[in-house]
Structure 1
């Protein structure tokens, strides 16, 4: 059963809330970029520095994924709002939370191991 929704101009508050969510994801992306580059530059977790490089690469990669995912989510939400339909589900917050927790745990383990 396919429901068709007529597109209409949404209440501007919903549009602005969608934009604020998009900007929050972009700030999170920037934090991932900064954290990843800082990890590579400043973490001293051994002579080869490979743990810092792994943490850096993971964080920058997650930043890139978050930037792309945020744009896609913003577009999908705007389309759903205009149709008056339900907002699509996303795994972006779960991915971000899990990645940050794992990276933090890796950093803690290497800090204690050193």
Structure 2
């Protein structure tokens, strides 16, 4: 059951195919790390801030992990197609979106840590 796009164009040099696969796997590793962080925050950060903030952070990391997993496959496939057709690698705005989302979650997490005394009073 080979996808039709794999039958188009020429087989790329195996070194480039393997490099593309390694990149895909690094994206998946990162998604798994984000998911592990979400689970850790949900399970072990109970006294850090009100529960709704902990849940929001954990859900944000979980959603980012889901998005990263989907993007990893889409980018791997697009790169494979470009290599088979001897075209330039496609650009994706998703990288800046993911970086922005990670930045936002990090800022919220740092803010929660710095504001912990204020948050825990109420």
TM range (shorter): 0.7 to 0.9
Deviates more, 1:98-107 or 1:73-82: 98-107
TM-score, with structure 1 as normaliser: 0.88
Please name the residue that 2:97 is paired with: 95
Residue number among 66, 74, 93 corresponding to 2:76 in the alignment: 74
TM-score, with structure 2 as normaliser: 0.83
Q: Which runs of 5+ in 1 are unaligned?
A: 1-5
Please name the residue that 1:45 is paired with: 48
Native 8 Å contact 1:45 1:51 kept in 2: no
User: Hey, what's the Cα distance between the residues in 1 that align with 2:94 and 2:32?
Assistant: 15
Please name the residue that 1:62 is paired with: 64
Corresponding residue SS for 1:111: helix
Residue number among 95, 110, 113 corresponding to 2:112 in the alignment: 110
User: Hey, what's the Cα distance between the residues in 1 that align with 2:72 and 2:92?
Assistant: 10
4+ residue segments displaced more than 6 Å: none
User: Hey, what's the Cα distance between the residues in 1 that align with 2:85 and 2:52?
Assistant: 49
Q: Which runs of 5+ in 2 are unaligned?
A: 1-7, 117-122
